[in-house]
Amino acid sequence: MSEQENILEIKNMKKHFTVGSNKKLKAVDGITFSVRKGETLGIVGESGCGKSTAGKTIIGLYDITEGDVIYKGKSIKHMNARERREYTRSMQMVFQDPYASLNPRMTVGDIVAEGIDIHGLAKNRADRRKRVFELLEAVGLNAEHAGRFPHEFSGGQRQRIGIARALAIEPEFIVADEPISALDVSVQAQVINLFQKLQKERGLTYLFIAHDLAMVKHISDRIGVMYLGKLVEITTSALLYANPLHPYTQSLLSAIPIPDPHIERTRERIILEGEVPSPLNPPSGCPFRTRCPKAMDVCALSMPPLIESSSDHFVACHLY
């Protein structure tokens, strides 16, 4: 894959927070990956692994502690004010909680038009209204919803409003931060199908953050697995499910039920021992070693680098 086809490159990105009396919380601790134009890259891992912080840091809601984000070949550290404005316009986020992410005092029309107003994208009030109606229709709502308030809608409809708001400034790249985890199961598939439809129509690129592995497989071209601030494996969706290499990925995938009673009865679940260590005090070396069934002495000494073990399959583990 040529460099030009990468819309985004993340290089050794770290995001640390200072907590209490000068303690460092290493939420994201040196991750490197690229996102190709037009693809969906899924990021998975259990709660607290740093996946949402990674998304918010890439999009600029948090400042980077160390490392770099390169957008279309240009480092965000070296962007001037105009380039930075373009960057923030081409990046948008769909948040996890459709209840908390919409202002209850604003009408749906004003929520959706917020980005249009900030970036001066509408010629006049009529053009603004037309754009809002088009966006609502694009996400499966209609024009008369524009005058209502968020509390009048269901969770799935609110998430559609959030998606319409993200699309309003015609972004190229969307970070979807667990956009379906707060929704009913019956609504989740509708929202996923909407994401896929919009991607085809508008040529969007997604970073899709989730902890539901079955859903991530359905929507993602490639998947990265995070554990305690580190990226431990990244490859195509099909390869990750067919041949997971990292012991953590293997344990995650073993927990997904298979809809075949014969296979389900005979296959082995990998049960992890112990608790996830605190990001305030991560273990030395590989952060997964304290729970890893295959841990060796070398795992305590150094964090294994992310290496390409086979074509387009990267893993950070001393076994490889």
pLDDT value at 2 more than 70: no
pLDDT value at 225 more than 60: yes
What is the model's pLDDT at position 311? 87
At residue 187 the predicted structure's pLDDT band, cuts being 50, 70 and 90, is: confident
Let me know: does 226 contact 45? Beta carbons within 8 Å: yes
At residue 281 the predicted structure's pLDDT band, cuts being 50, 70 and 90, is: confident
- How big is the chain by its Cα radius of gyration, in Å? 21
Distance CA 14, CA 3 (A): 22
At residue 92 the predicted structure's pLDDT band, cuts being 50, 70 and 90, is: very high
b/e code 171-208 from CB counts within 10 Å (16+ = b): bbbbbbbbbbebbeeebbeebbebbeebbeeeebbbbb
| Structural domain boundaries in the chain | 246-320
What is the model's pLDDT at position 270? 73
pLDDT value at 283 more than 60: yes
Let me know: does 168 contact 201? Beta carbons within 8 Å: no
pTM above 0.85, yes or no: yes
- Give the residue-averaged pLDDT of 257-280: 73
pLDDT value at 264 more than 90: no
At residue 5 the predicted structure's pLDDT band, cuts being 50, 70 and 90, is: confident
What is the model's pLDDT at position 146? 93
Distance CA 155, CA 295 (A): 43
At residue 234 the predicted structure's pLDDT band, cuts being 50, 70 and 90, is: very high
Cα–Cα separations (whole angstroms), residue 11 to 66, 83, 263, 283, 300? 9, 20, 41, 23, 24
Average pLDDT, the chain: 88
At residue 211 the predicted structure's pLDDT band, cuts being 50, 70 and 90, is: confident
Scanning the chain, the segments in alpha helix (DSSP H) are 51-59, 81-90, 108-118, 125-138, 155-167, 185-202, 213-219, 237-242, 247-254, 261-266, 298-301
At residue 228 the predicted structure's pLDDT band, cuts being 50, 70 and 90, is: very high
- Give the residue-averaged pLDDT of 73-102: 88
Which is more confidently placed, 98 or 191?
Answer: 191
- Give the residue-averaged pLDDT of 71-75: 90
Distance CA 281, CA 267 (A): 35
Cβ neighbour number for residue 106 with a 10 Å cutoff: 14
For residue range 107-132, list pLDDT tens digits in order.
Answer: 999 999 998 998 888 899 999 999 99
CB neighbours of 88 closer than 8 A, spacing ≥ 6? 60
Which is more confidently placed, 254 or 203?
Answer: 203
Cβ neighbour number for residue 263 with a 10 Å cutoff: 9
Task: Write the single-letter amino acid at 11.
Answer: K
What is the model's pLDDT at position 267? 67
At residue 3 the predicted structure's pLDDT band, cuts being 50, 70 and 90, is: very low
Task: Write the single-letter amino acid at 253.
Answer: L
At residue 1 the predicted structure's pLDDT band, cuts being 50, 70 and 90, is: very low
CB neighbours of 199 closer than 8 A, spacing ≥ 6? 38, 40, 206
How is residue 202 written in tokens? 């508008």
At residue 19 the predicted structure's pLDDT band, cuts being 50, 70 and 90, is: confident
pLDDT value at 265 more than 80: no
Percent of the chain with pLDDT over 70: 95
At residue 77 the predicted structure's pLDDT band, cuts being 50, 70 and 90, is: confident
Chain center to CA of 293: 28
pLDDT value at 149 more than 90: yes
